[in-house]
Amino acid sequence: MTSLPALVVPTSGTALWYLTRASGVVALVLLTTTVMVGIVASVGWTTERWPRFLSQNVHRDLSLLCLGFVAVHIASTVGDGYVPIGLADAFVPFHSPYRPLWVGLGAVAFDLLLAVLVTSALRRRIGYRSWRFVHRLAYLCWPVAVLHGLGTGSDATLDPVLAVDACCTLGVLAVVAWRLVTVTTIGTFQRLVGAVVAVIVTVSIGVVAALGPLRPGWSHRSGTSSALLAQIATRSHGPTGTPVIAAPTTATTAPAPNGAAPGAASGTLPPAPFSIAVAGTQSTVPDAAGEVRITLALHLQDPASTPLTIELDGTAVPGGGVSLTQGSVAFGPFRGTVTALAGDTIEATVPGAGPVDLTVTLSVDQGTGALSGTVVGALVGGDR
Q: Which of 299, 297, 301 is nearest to 309 (CA)?
A: 297
pLDDT of residue 181: 85
Are residues 6 and 319 in contact, defined by beta-carbon separation less than 8 angstroms?
A: yes
* Phi, psi torsion values for 289, nearest 5 degrees: -85, 5
Q: Where are the alpha helices (DSSP H) in the chain?
A: 12-42, 52-80, 100-121, 123-126, 128-135, 137-152, 159-182, 188-211, 218-221, 226-232
* Per-residue confidence (pLDDT) for residue 316, from 0 to 100: 65
Contacts by residues 348-354 (CB-CB < 8 Å, ≥ 24 positions apart): 348/310, 349/233, 349/380, 351/249, 352/249, 352/251, 353/269, 354/272, 354/379, 354/380
Contact 103, 96 (CB under 8 A): yes
Residues paired with residue 311 on neighbouring β-strands, in sequence order: 295, 328
User: What is the reported pLDDT for 233?
Assistant: 44
> How big is the CA angle at 95 (ends 90 and 96), to the nearest 5 degrees?
75
Q: pLDDT by residue for the chain (384 residues), tens digit each?
A: 334 444 443 344 467 878 888 999 999 999 999 988 888 877 776 666 767 667 778 888 888 999 999 999 999 988 877 677 889 999 999 988 888 899 999 999 999 999 988 888 888 888 888 888 888 877 889 999 999 999 887 678 788 888 999 999 999 999 999 888 887 777 888 889 888 999 999 999 999 888 888 876 676 667 655 445 444 444 433 333 333 323 333 333 333 333 333 333 445 688 888 899 999 998 888 765 567 788 899 999 988 889 999 988 776 655 555 666 678 899 988 888 887 766 678 888 888 767 888 989 888 887 787 889 999 988 875 544
Q: What is the pLDDT of residue 323?
A: 63
How many residues does this entry show for the chain? 384
Report helix, strand or coil for 284. strand
Can you give the pLDDT at residue 351? 82
Q: Give the start-to-end residue ranges of the domains of the chain.
A: 12-226, 242-379
Q: How many CB atoms lie within 10 A of CB 244?
A: 21
Q: Is residue 311 within a helix (H) or strand (E), and if so which, with residue range? A: strand 307-317
Q: Which long-range contacts (CB under 8 A, 24 or more apart) does 188-196 make?
A: none
**Ramachandran region, residue 93 (left: φ > 0; alpha: ψ -120 to 50; beta: rest):** beta
**Under a CB-based contact definition with an 8 Å cutoff, are residues 249 and 335 in contact?**
yes
Run of H or E residues at 254: none
- What's the predicted TM-score (pTM) here? 0.59
